[in-house]
Structure 1
C-alpha cells in the first residue's frame, strides 16, 4: 500500500458515526448561530432522518428527509472528515459546505448545479423596524401553497413546518400576499432558522417581506434565543431587508449538487 492509501486508511479509522444527541449538541453549541440547522435536526421532528459523523471536533450531517439527501458540513478542519466520508456518501447529494471544503470530495465526486455562495445570518438583539402579520395554521395551508406556487415555487416547504405554529402572514383585501416561516424551530435547543419568506409578485416593493419577517422574529423570541437564516450572497435586496431588522452575517457557505464520478466503491 502506498503512502496515500495508508493516509486515507488512517483518516477513515478516525471517522466515527455518532448517535448521542448530547455529544452532538455539545460540539454544535461551540458556534450555535453557525449550526442552528443542525441543532434543530437533533429534535424528534428531524432526528430519524439524520446520520452524523465525527472526525475530531468536525461534524458532518447527512439529512435523508428529502428525495435527494443533503450533506451539511460547516466550520474549520473539514478536509479529513470529508475525505474519510467519501466511501459512505450517496451517489448524488446536495451539500451545504464551508467555502472550499468541497475540494476534499474530488476526484470521487464532481460538482454540478451550483447553488452559489450563501451567508448565514443571525439576529443581534431585538428585531428592529416595522412588524406586521398574523399567525398562520394548518387551515391556511391551501392558501399558503397557492402563494408559494405564484411567488416561490422552488422553496423547501413541509407541512410539518406549518404545524409548528411559527408561520406569519400578511393579507391585503382578504388575500394572503406575504409570509415568513421557519425551516427549524427548536424550543428544546432554543434555536430557530427562518425560511420560506416570500411576497406575492403583485405586492413587491412595499417592504412586506421585511415587515412579516420582523413580526415572526418577535414571535420566535418567546421560545428561542438564537434566530438565524440563510440568504444567497448575491441577493442584495433580501440582505438589506435582513440588515434593517438586525441580522448580521455569522458565516459563509456554498450550496451545490455532487454526483459520483464512479471512482469509489459502493454507495447507496
Structure 2
C-alpha cells in the first residue's frame, strides 16, 4: 500500500464502544450520545478510520439523510480523512453538520446548495437560569400530544421551516406558555433527550411574533432546563445560528457557552 492510500473505512456497531468514545467529550457529542437510544439507533450508521479518531454518523430519516461529523480543531485533519473515505457510502443528497472544514473535504464531489454558520452551545452555569424561572405573561406548563395542533400553529407563525418530529412531544419534555385566550404563544422542547446517557439537546425555542420581548423564550428555556436537570441530564446543549445575535444573547444570559462552531450545509453530489 502506498503512503498516499486512503485509510480503510470501518463501521461501528457496538453502542458501548460508541458511548465510551463520545463520553470523552459529551458536550461536543450530545446528539451522538442521544442517538444511541431508540427510536434513533436503528436508523443510524457509524463510521471511523481509526481506533481513537473522529466518528461520523449517518442518520437516515426522511427524504434527506443527515451526516453528522464533529471534531475538535486538533482532529480536523482526521475528520477530513474520514469524510473522504466515506464518499462511497454517502447519499447523493444530505444535510451535513460538520466542523473544521469538513464541508470543504467533500466539496470536490458535492455541490453546496446552502451553508449556514452554526454554534453548538452547552449549559455551563445553571445558576443563571434562576432569574428567568417563573417570569413571563403566564405560567410555563408541560405540553403533550394533545397540544400538537397548537404547537404546529405556533411554529407556522414564529418558526416556519423548523425541524420538528411530533414524536418529540412524548420522547422528551416540551413546555409552553399560553395567553389569556388560551393561545400557545411560546415554547421550548428537545431534539434529543436520553436518560441513559444523561444528555439532552434543546430545540424549537419559539415565541409568537405578537408576544416577543416579554421574556417568554427565556422563561420556557429556563423551565425546560430545570426539568431536564431534575430528570438527571448532566449535559444540556443546543444549536444556534452564529448570525442570530438575539438568540445568542438569550442563551448566554441563561448560562450557555460556545462549545464549537460548525457548518450546516445542504449538499448534492455532482
| Counterpart residue number, 1:227 | 236
Cross-structure match for 1:50 = 44
Structure 2 CA distance for aligned equivalents of residues 59 and 129 of structure 1 = 39
State the SS of the aligned residue for 1:111. Answer: strand
Q: Which runs of 5+ in 2 are unaligned?
A: 135-139
Structure 2 Cα separation of the partners of residues 86 and 213 of structure 1: 38
Measured in 2, the distance between the counterparts of 1:230 and 1:23 equals: 25
Structure 2 contact 172–192 (Cα < 8 Å) conserved: no
Distance 1:175 1:131 in 2: 21
> What is the CA RMSD across the aligned residues, in angstroms?
1.4
CA distance in structure 2 between the partners assigned to 1:81 and 1:165 by the alignment:
32
Aligned to 1:265: none
Q: Cα 1:159–1:61, aligned 2, differ >3 Å: closer, same or farther?
A: same
Distance 2:35 2:123 in 1: 20
Tell me if structure 2 keeps the 8 A contact 1:136–1:165. Answer: no
1:176 aligns with 2:184: yes
Offset at residue 99 of structure 1 (A)? 3.0
1:130 equivalent in structure 2:
132
Return the TM-score normalized by structure 2.
0.91
Decide whether the 8 Å contact of 2:80 with 2:101 is kept in 1.
no
CA distance, structure 2, for counterparts of residue 18 and residue 260 of structure 1: 25
| Aligned residue pair count | 254
2:154 alignment partner, one of 147, 159, 171: 147
TM-score (norm 1): 0.91
Secondary structure at 2:4's aligned position in 1?
A: helix
List runs of 5+ in structure 1 lacking aligned partners.
Answer: 262-268
2:62 aligns to what SS in structure 1? coil
Counterpart for residue 206 of structure 2: 198
Query: How far apart are 1:165 and its partner, in Å?
Result: 4.5
